[in-house]
């Protein structure tokens, strides 16, 4: 394996994919840093809105490695200020590898492009350019400060990582989550590991809508909250032509809306939409699904369990592991 600039960016890319689905309304972004001699100092990602951007997180990780005595504040604004003051030129002439152009705007934290300038980086490799009105222009800030910038490294792969963000920015992003056994079976028993279910609850907690069909409601009577991570329960849309049991568990959660409708259209106000269900709902939602997130547990099923029936053909974008499960992000083959 050639350990070149693409390799370092691919480390950042892989790290970012681990948090795909968790960063809404922000994009999934990864960042690696090497020092002036080329030694790897950090591979980090943006993990969640309200936590540091990838560049800030990577800078913290790099400085921790170089000076383990530093004690960093956890609040991102304070962290940004602290690092800007206390970096002590430790990252002078470093190289940054970012999957997305560093932001140029004051959001929850000040612009990442300014941070990279402050730290004295020598070169920045960028995967995707940021074309949002709000945040674009980071590369220009870097160049104006004399930092060498190389754009478009692993562009296709970085664009794939970014696409969910572009979709919800432009309207809405929807993904169908399936949890299957190794043999493709599913039912309302436990299919995936505890770690995988925690991961899915984290995702639920940042979705603003979960969509299910009436069949899932009747068969599983799910709560559809994010209790494993003490997270916010998203609103729920139940698509059904039949009457709904008023005591269903989904109604037991406070501070969430439950919508019941017989059409498959998503209400416009929701931007990050998770679809859960089985075989019939997967087929019904096919045309309205942007991505497929498919977990495979490590057990085989028992006869009598349900199975997916569809002739969908998918493209594997990223394959990861959590607990004893594997999961893949897929797009449709068009």
> Does residue 55 carry a catalytic annotation?
yes
Listed in sequence order, the residues at least 6 apart from 328 whose beta carbon sits closer than 8 Å to its beta carbon are 293, 294, 316, 317, 318, 319, 320
8 A C-beta contact, residue 79 and residue 56: yes
Cα(203)–Cα(170) distance, rounded to whole angstroms?
Answer: 20
Cα(59)–Cα(318) distance, rounded to whole angstroms?
Answer: 25
Does position 225 bind a copy of itself by CB under 8 A?
A: no
Select the residue interacting with a copy of itself from 181, 197, 202, 204 (CB under 8 A).
181
Does position 185 bind a copy of itself by CB under 8 A?
A: yes
CB of 167 to a copy of itself, least distance (A): 21
Q: Which residue's CB is nearer to a copy of itself, number 288 or number 332?
A: 332
Q: Which of these, 25, 46, 29, 22, lies nearest to 231 by C-alpha position?
A: 22
User: CA-CA distances (angstroms) from residue 278 to 24, 186, 262?
Assistant: 25, 8, 18
Select the residue interacting with a copy of itself from 88, 195, 257, 300 (CB under 8 A).
300
Q: Which residue's CB is nearer to a copy of itself, number 10 or number 216?
A: 10
Does position 299 bind a copy of itself by CB under 8 A?
A: yes
Select the residue interacting with a copy of itself from 55, 61, 101, 157 (CB under 8 A).
61
Residue 80 has phi, psi (to 5 degrees) of: -60, -50
Q: Which residue's CB is nearer to a copy of itself, number 181 or number 204?
A: 181
Does position 198 bind a copy of itself by CB under 8 A?
A: no
Listed in sequence order, the residues at least 6 apart from 133 whose beta carbon sits closer than 8 Å to its beta carbon are none
Q: How many residues bind a copy of itself (CB under 8 A)?
A: 51
Applying CB under 8 A, which part among 76-84, 103-111, 154-162, 305-313 lies near a copy of itself?
A: 305-313
CB of 157 to a copy of itself, least distance (A): 13
Which one from 55, 61, 160, 163 is the annotated catalytic residue?
55
Torsion, CA 14, CA 16, CA 22, CA 26, rounded to 10: -150
Applying CB under 8 A, which part among 142-150, 158-166, 245-253, 326-334 lies near a copy of itself?
A: 326-334
Does position 313 bind a copy of itself by CB under 8 A?
A: yes
Q: Which pair of structure tokens corresponds to residue 312? A: 């969908």
Cα(17)–Cα(186) distance, rounded to whole angstroms?
Answer: 25
- The number of beta carbons lying within 10 Å of the beta carbon of residue 110 is 19
Q: Identify whether 25 is preceded by a cis peptide bond (ω within 30 of 0).
A: yes
Select the residue interacting with a copy of itself from 228, 248, 284, 308 (CB under 8 A).
308
User: What Rg, from alpha-carbon coordinates, does the chain have?
Assistant: 22
- Site residues for a copy of itself, 21-60, by CB under 8 A, read 34-35, 37-44
Select the residue interacting with a copy of itself from 65, 136, 232, 288 (CB under 8 A).
65
CB of 111 to a copy of itself, least distance (A): 24
- DSSP H or E run through 240: none
- Site residues for a copy of itself, 143-162, by CB under 8 A, read none
Residues lying near a copy of itself in the complex (CB under 8 A): 1-4, 7, 15, 34-35, 37-44, 61, 65, 180-185, 294, 296, 298-303, 307-316, 319-321, 324-326, 328, 330, 333
Residues annotated as catalytic (active site), given as ranges:
55
């Amino acid at each position: 394996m050639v350990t070149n600039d693409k390799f370092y960016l691919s480390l950042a890319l892989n790290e970012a994919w681990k948090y795909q689905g968790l960063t809404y309304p922000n994009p999934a972004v990864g960042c690696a840093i090497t020092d002036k001699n080329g030694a790897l100092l950090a591979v980090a990602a943006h993990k969640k809105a309200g936590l540091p951007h990838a560049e800030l997180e990577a800078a913290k990780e790099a400085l921790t490695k170089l000076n383990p005595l530093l004690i960093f504040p956890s609040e991102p604004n304070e962290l940004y200020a602290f690092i800007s003051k206390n970096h002590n030129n430790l990252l002078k002439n470093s190289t940054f590898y970012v999957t997305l152009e560093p932001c140029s705007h004051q959001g929850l934290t000040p612009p990442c492009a300014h941070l990279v300038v402050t730290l004295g980086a020598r070169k920045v490799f960028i995967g995707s350019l940021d074309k949002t009105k709000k945040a674009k222009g980071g590369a220009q800030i870097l160049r104006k400060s004399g930092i060498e910038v190389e754009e478009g490294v692993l562009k296709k792969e970085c664009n794939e990582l970014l696409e969910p963000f572009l979709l919800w920015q432009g309207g809405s992003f929807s993904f169908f989550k399936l949890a299957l056994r190794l043999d493709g079976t599913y039912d309302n028993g436990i299919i995936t590991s505890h770690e995988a279910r925690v991961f899915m609850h984290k995702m639920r907690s940042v979705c603003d809508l979960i969509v299910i069909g009436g069949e899932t409601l009747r068969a599983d009577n799910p709560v559809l909250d994010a209790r494993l991570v003490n997270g916010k329960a998203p609103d729920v849309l139940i698509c059904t032509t039949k009457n709904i049991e008023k005591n269903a568990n989904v109604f037991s959660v406070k501070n969430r809306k439950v919508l019941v409708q017989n059409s498959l259209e998503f209400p416009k106000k929701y931007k990050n939409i998770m679809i859960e269900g089985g075989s019939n709902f997967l087929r019904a939602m096919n045309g309205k699904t942007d991505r497929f997130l498919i977990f495979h547990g490590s057990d085989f099923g028992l006869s009598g369990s349900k199975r997916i029936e569809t002739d969908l053909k998918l493209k594997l974008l990223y394959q990861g592991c959590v607990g004893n499960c594997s999961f893949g992000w897929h797009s449709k083959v068009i």
